[in-house]
Structure 1
């Protein structure tokens, strides 16, 4: 018995002997392991961001990012620097990795949604929308939000748990528990890491400044930026590279030859041109209400290939357009760009002439000035009261600040309108209520009005808005539902617009209306987009209308940009124009449409800027000089070219 027990006791004795603990890691070992581990984490996080643009799933992505430009590796380096900064700040590597990964997931999810809706990635300026959480949440389904929040929480929790499990290999060194010399070394290392990474991150925010370190790295193998398509830009230069490329920058480079003498010569030239034009102009807008209507997502879906609607959603508008000046507007982008189209209309300044990083002048340019030249000041200087109407929140695109800089007397919005009616289960105030507000404002003012209305009824999402969507053939599933719902919304706008114009026609007050859609809604699937390659997804209807006899004459205008709407309005009314409008009118005669990275000639064909005629090139140079002078220049000739444009 004793022989049988002895091994057992012996084994027990051996099992009870303590296993020697591994020696504690030194600060140098912790730092070395942490740097390697954080670099691997940075690579994984970078891949998450790259995947959000969907470019990683195309063979071209590997060529552009891994081989040609090496953007993937530089993106990883930027993320690694961010991890290093937070690690120095927090002192816990796995917590830091969890926070950065969770942030990448949030940014990546937002990018996926934005690309689906607007065909463009996330920009630094989009951070302004954090102030409008209700609007952001309306863009995605509640299920998506719940899943996204769940993933973020899971990532942070997992990071904490992994950190505890890896405490032996990646221990958290406590300065208070280390010997004095090691404690000082650790404190010094954290401070040094924090300072170096902070300086590098500050450099990243100044990406577009001359001599920037990060931009220099991205351009080691040449300039690969593709600003004409930001989605392609992000895919070719990395998500981080594309994001940094769109960091704030001065709106325009100083044009060659810009000085007081050159601008005075331009003013002399176009004062003469305007005088020549005005000799034959016998009309006037001094006693006329001017109503500018930007109709959210108003388009003609029957012009698109790939599907058919059971009924025409805009028959009244289509018939009206045959009786007056009308045509197609070239939208800046698919699925978005409302504020930019409004900016071009009111200022006559083209985004095509700004730097490509000037994504949103409403957010990045106008609020930086005490005042800004616009049609608002111009009309006010000619006896009009100026009222802005937008049936939504005042914070969107900083409109409250922008409208104040433009000089509007009143800003009527969702909480100050007379009526707030919605149709069906729609999320936005109806166009009928918006048009009714304009009629109320006209009735309440003794002086003629300049009204800028930006509607909201047809803003996405449109799912489930109406009980009677228009039937769609040629599409399936959710796309068919979206298009049918959207088309029904257009039908409601069509009816409301006809009633609005009928009320103006019966009014004793003279009124002229400029109506245009700002962009196509982001509701179409990839098949429909492919079927309408080219300009098909960038054309929206516009028309000019007056309630005065003889003014409305059938005229099909060439495809145009909103930057030319003001001179077109004055030509329509046969009214005299300032020299600035004379310049825009001459540009329009040669280049009727221009947007960032795209110009159209009089036949509607895309033309390369290098192929412009000498006269057209000279006109663009003149327009660039004046735009610079008005926007960020010295305003040498504002009082001569557009008197009264600032109020």
Structure 2
């Protein structure tokens, strides 16, 4: 037994001693052993940083963790009180430093005001846990655990989708969990050091004795924590005050915002955008007068007789990657999407600006179906989960008013992005998810496009007398690229990058291209009129270093625009005004569908058709002006009259119209 002296500054004893053993005394040694193994298997990530000796730091942290895992330290009560007071100030700073470090931010490069505000946010978390637990020790452990999980989760989210955690991600938690198992997870040196540091801090705090508070004391501590949280929140939210202190708002590039403002402060600042706000200069009466000039047109007898079947396919992660990368940075053995690149007969086509990159399928879907622009919603928000709680006009509801049967299809789980709740509000009669579909042949871990399109054909052949509208969201190309560890042959081989996941992704787009070709050939032979709309939802999320090699020498804005550009196609099996429209955006595409189907435009699409002359394309990152010049959606965009006009009209038509 180690020496134990009640009068000494501290006393030591073995943690696994029977007399004083608690449940966590068994867990701590196990955690220590696991961390030794984790460090051993990730030692190469520690060597990757040549400026900092991560290996030495990790070694001494592991020594400290091991000692605390096997040895109990009991401090003299006065020493413990002093340590607790010191830690009350130190724990928030430690959490701030480690989270920023984990997310590749340098705390001391932030200005002093921002550092203090971030510190205040972490202090508020600590006070909240103190109120919830009524114990200083519990507050420390709760804060450290919460911040460790949050910091690591934020880093993984950054790696997978390119943007940090925002408040409204809580709405998408179920969707994220459903696909999380299909990704490969690895940690870098900063993440490993962060894990070790948090565990070391928690193991140290565990040494403190439990000090219970009375019910009265518990109530006082909880009330105090609420006051601190409210005061902190109110003091942080006013935008004008934040700007005076140096906090910048970068709604279109959240990954840049966390570098400028700090991770946790940026999250708190984003809470002000959970609710929609009236646009600047908005006047409801003016909007009513504007839309009074647009009439809701009825179908003519000819239009009613010739209503085509309409099939809209939003293809997961489909883009023309090799056309947008720089020079010969990407060289392939053959064209990845030969059919779509040459698809021109009876096709309206162009380059479509999408609102998201690497993830956020539901946002592109929302823009297409409703004709709204995500540019006027909070950055990173998901309208399906946050803002659609009542019947909302969409392409489905418009076609339904024209006598169409409206069907949504998705070969994955129906609860993703709250689709099963939202689709009826958008005017869909039925929704078929993976549980309802007959053909489910897998490619990797998702239903293949070829199999998916068999389900479309089956629905078409059993459509009945009413015209049919199908909106199909594919899954084949979804993220979770693992290179050669797949169950299909990589048709496309990239020569320069030497990355298996690039071959995998490009080969998936080839399979999508060929499946679409077969679908179009089938409908080309049908006598009844058919319109097919096909577009990608966003670019795939590959590792940043891979994209760096794809875009050598390309400035950040140009690269961002390219990575938000996908092709779109509207085809008919009869003659239409085929053309390449150049740049457009997702919110305008449904108008091209109605045009190809020779159906009347509702007031919103009439307005959008006029807006296209002034504002041919708009997304969350860029817009195209009437001179076909591309501009960033930065502060200057707030003074663009066409953008303001569209923003006010969209708010009125979808939020304020009676």
Shared fold per TM-score greater than 0.5: yes
1:363-402 counterparts in 2 under 5 A? 363-366=385-388, 369-402=389-422
The CA distance in 1 between the partners of 2:337 and 2:636, in whole Å, is 38
Is the Cα contact below 8 Å between 1:251 and 1:358 reproduced in 2? no
Residue 461 of structure 2 corresponds to 443
472, 483, 494: which one aligns with 1:453: 472
Instruction: Determine helix, strand or coil for the equivalent of 1:453.
Output: strand
Q: Of residues 570, 573, 587 in structure 2, which corresponds to 1:544?
A: 570
Query: 1: CA distance between counterparts of 2:428 and 2:535?
Result: 21
**Counterpart-to-counterpart distance in 2, 1:285 and 1:361:** 36
Tell me whether 385-394 or 262-271 shows the greater mean CA deviation: 262-271
1:191 to 201, 204, 219: 219
Q: Is residue 2:211 matched to residue 1:173? A: yes
| Paired position in structure 2 for 1:80 | 123
2:99 aligned to which of 40, 44, 49: 49
Change (3 A) 1:172 1:524: closer
* Cα 1:222/1:512, change in 2 over 3 Å: same
CA–CA distance in structure 2, aligned partners of residues 601 and 17 of structure 1: 78
SS in 1 for 2:583: coil
Query: Counterparts of 2:350 and 2:299 in 1: how far apart (Å)?
Result: 27
- In structure 2, the residue matched to 1:4 is none
Structure 2: how far apart are the matches of 1:411 and 1:374?
15
**Using the alignment, how far apart are the partners of 1:337 and 1:250 within structure 2?**
19
Cα shift readout 1:111-142 (whole Å, capped 9, x = no counterpart): 22222232211122222343346534335326
Aligned-pair CA distance for 1:496: 0.6
Q: Give the Cα separation in 1 of the matches to 2:99 and 2:436.
A: 41
Supply the distance in 2 between the matched residues of 1:281 and 1:556 (Cα, whole angstroms). 31
CA distance in 1, matches of 2:471, 2:505: 24
Alpha-carbon spacing, 1:129–1:571, altered in 2? closer, same or farther (3 Å): closer
8 Å contact kept, 2:314–2:474? yes
Higher alpha-carbon deviation: 97-106 or 585-594: 97-106
Give the 3-state SS of the residue equivalent to 2:609 in structure 1. Answer: helix
Q: 1:468 to 1:101 in 2, by over 3 A?
A: same
CA–CA separation in structure 1 for the residues paired with 2:352 and 2:308: 25
Aligned residue in 2 for 1:414: 434
Instruction: Check if 1:465 corresponds to 2:486.
Output: yes
Q: Distance in 2 between matches of 1:257 and 1:294?
A: 33
Structure 1 position 513, deviation (Å)? 1.1
| Residues 388-422 of structure 1, C-alpha deviations (whole Å, 9 max, x = no match) | 01111112111111112112111111111111111
Aligned position for 1:474: 496
Structure 2 gap ranges (5+): 11-74
Gaps of 5+ in 1: 1-14, 176-182, 637-647
SS of the residue corresponding to residue 532 of structure 2 reads strand
Q: Please list the CA deviations of residues 118-177 of structure 1 after superposition, one character each: whole Å capped at 9, or x if unmatched.
A: 2211122222343346534335326669x999997x888755642354x3xxx43345xx
Residues 357, 310 of structure 1: CA spacing in aligned structure 2 closer, same or farther, 3 A cutoff?
A: closer
Select 1:256's aligned residue among 261, 281, 306. Answer: 281
Corresponding residue to 1:98 among 128, 138, 141: 141
Corresponding residue of 1:641: none
Indicate the structure (1 or 2) with the bigger Cα radius of gyration.
1
SS state of the match for residue 292, structure 1? strand
Judging changes above 3 Å, is the alpha-carbon distance between structure 1 residues 321 and 115 closer, same or farther for their aligned structure 2 residues?
Answer: farther
Q: Partners in 2 of 1:420 and 1:150 — Cα distance?
A: 43
In structure 2, the CA distance between the partners of 1:307 and 1:203, relative to structure 1 (3 Å rule), is farther
Q: Residues of 1 paired with 2:538 and 2:8: CA distance?
A: 71
TM-score between the two structures when normalised by the length of structure 1: 0.80
Distance 1:118 1:16, change over 3 A: closer
Distance (whole Å) between structure 1 residues aligned to residue 182 and residue 155 of structure 2: 12
Deviation string for 1:69-128 (max 9, x for gaps)? Answer: x22221222112211221333244344333332332322222222222322111222223
Q: Residues 538 and 281 of structure 1: is their aligned pair in 2 closer, same or farther, counting only changes over 3 Å?
A: farther
Match of 1:506 in 2: 525
* Cα pair 1:95 1:159 within 8 Å, conserved: no
Secondary structure, counterpart of 1:521 in structure 2: coil
| 1: CA distance, partners of 2:143 / 2:571 | 54
> CA–CA distance in 1 between the matches of 2:440 and 2:117?
51
Q: How many residues align?
A: 575
Q: Which deviates the most, 486-495 or 574-583?
A: 574-583
Q: Does 2:540 match 1:490?
A: no
Partner secondary structure for residue 297 of structure 1: coil
Shift of 1:528: 3.0
Deviation of 1:314 (Å) = 0.8
Alignment match, 1:579? 603
Conserved 8 A contact 2:279-2:651? yes
> Which residue matches 2:205?
163
- With over 3 angstroms needed to count, the CA separation of the structure-2 counterparts of 1:75 and 1:19, relative to structure 1, is closer
Give, in whole Å, the separation in 2 of the partners of 1:19 and 1:330.
Answer: 72
Displacement of 1:300 in angstroms is 1.1
